[in-house]
Amino acid sequence: MWSWETFIDAFPFVIEGINITLGLTVTSYLLALAAGFIWLVLESTPSRIINFFFHWIREFIRSTPPLVQIFFLYFAWPEVPYVGMTFTPFIAAMLALGIHFSTYISEVYRSGIESVDQGQWEASKALNLSTKDTWMRIVLPQALPPTIPMLGNYLIILFKEVPLAATIGVVGILSLARTYGSNTWAYLEPITIVAILFLLLSYPSALLIRWLEKKMNNRFEKKETKVKVSK
């Protein structure tokens, strides 16, 4: 039976975990954003063998469930010879989710870069821009803004995968809800609270992303109207 009393009692207990939940989301997302670039570099070296090797590894990581990866890093990694070491639950979950999502994010970056017209590269070369300036001032400023909505989507998906970390004992809101349940035998309210918290955080983010998407689609027209108005 639903009890508002239990709800009110459970709320402060469960919300204690929000820092961990959000902290894990943000750190693993930042890792994914950075590692996404690293894949891109590893897969576009002058050596086709190296590119293929890393492409295959990324494909492998992408095709295995994040939960398996979390278990692997937490339980199995310490047993790996030479490089093996023990991670705290938080670090293991952060690495696993960060690396898992980096494999998608790298794909997003790639699609952004490929959407830049070949003529932009050629004009940069004809003007003798350095490789660095071509990337930093011509290609990336055009490639990245259109990927922002996609990157935002992956942030929300990642956020919703974070409760997986509860399985290795990261004490986020879901773990606390379960603890509350096992202490009081009331699961309905604490777990509902978790669901509501997720909804409260992801729905507005989804709206924000939809808005960004619209803005990105019209970004050059925006500039146009701005200029017309100023005249």
Partner 1 sequence: MEPVVQYKEVQKSFGDTHVLKGINLDIMPSEKIAIIGPSGSGKTTIIRLLMTLAEPTGGDILVDGKNLWKMEVNGKTKTANEKHLGAVRDDIGMVFQHFNLFPHKTILENCTLPLTSVQKMDKTEAEALAKQMLDRVGLGDKFEAYPANLSGGQKQRVAMARALVMKPKIMLFDEVTSALDPELVGEVLEVIRDLAAHEDMAMVLVTHEMEFALEIADRVLFLDEGVIAESGPADDVINKSENPRLQEFLKRFRSNGQS
By the rule CB under 8 A, 137 interacts with partner 1: yes
By the rule CB under 8 A, 45 interacts with partner 1: no
By the rule CB under 8 A, 16 interacts with partner 1: no
By the rule CB under 8 A, 114 interacts with partner 1: no
The burial class, CB within 10 Å (0-12 / 13-18 / 19+), for 226 is exposed
By the rule CB under 8 A, 46 interacts with partner 1: no
By the rule CB under 8 A, 160 interacts with partner 1: no
By the rule CB under 8 A, 142 interacts with partner 1: yes
By the rule CB under 8 A, 63 interacts with partner 1: no
Cα–Cα separations (whole angstroms), residue 148 to 55, 58, 74: 23, 22, 32
Question: Looking at beta carbons only, is 65 or 141 nearer to partner 1?
Answer: 141
Question: Looking at beta carbons only, is 63 or 131 nearer to partner 1?
Answer: 131
Of 97, 84, 108, nearest to 23 (Cα)? Answer: 97
Position among 81, 117, 185, 229 found at the interface with partner 1 (CB under 8 A): 117
Binding segment for partner 1 (CB under 8 A), chosen from 12-20, 35-43, 75-83, 119-127, is 119-127
The three-point CA angle 97-28-187 to 5° equals 70
By the rule CB under 8 A, 119 interacts with partner 1: yes
Distance of CA 152 to the CA centre of its chain: 8
Q: DSSP per residue over 150-167, as a string?
A: HHHHHHHHHHHHGGGGGG
* Total of chain residues touching partner 1, rule CB under 8 A: 24
We find the least distance from the C-beta atom of residue 209 to partner 1, in angstroms, to be: 21
Binding segment for partner 1 (CB under 8 A), chosen from 21-29, 63-71, 76-84, 120-128, is 120-128
Binding segment for partner 1 (CB under 8 A), chosen from 3-11, 13-21, 50-58, 132-140, is 132-140
What is residue 230's DSSP assignment?
A: T
Alpha-helical segments (H) within the chain: 4-15, 18-42, 48-63, 66-71, 89-114, 118-126, 131-133, 140-143, 148-161, 173-184, 188-217, 219-229
Rounded distance, CA 157 to CA 76, Å?
26
Residues binding partner 1 (CB under 8 A): 117, 119-120, 122-123, 125-131, 133, 137-138, 141-142, 220-221, 223-224, 227-228, 230
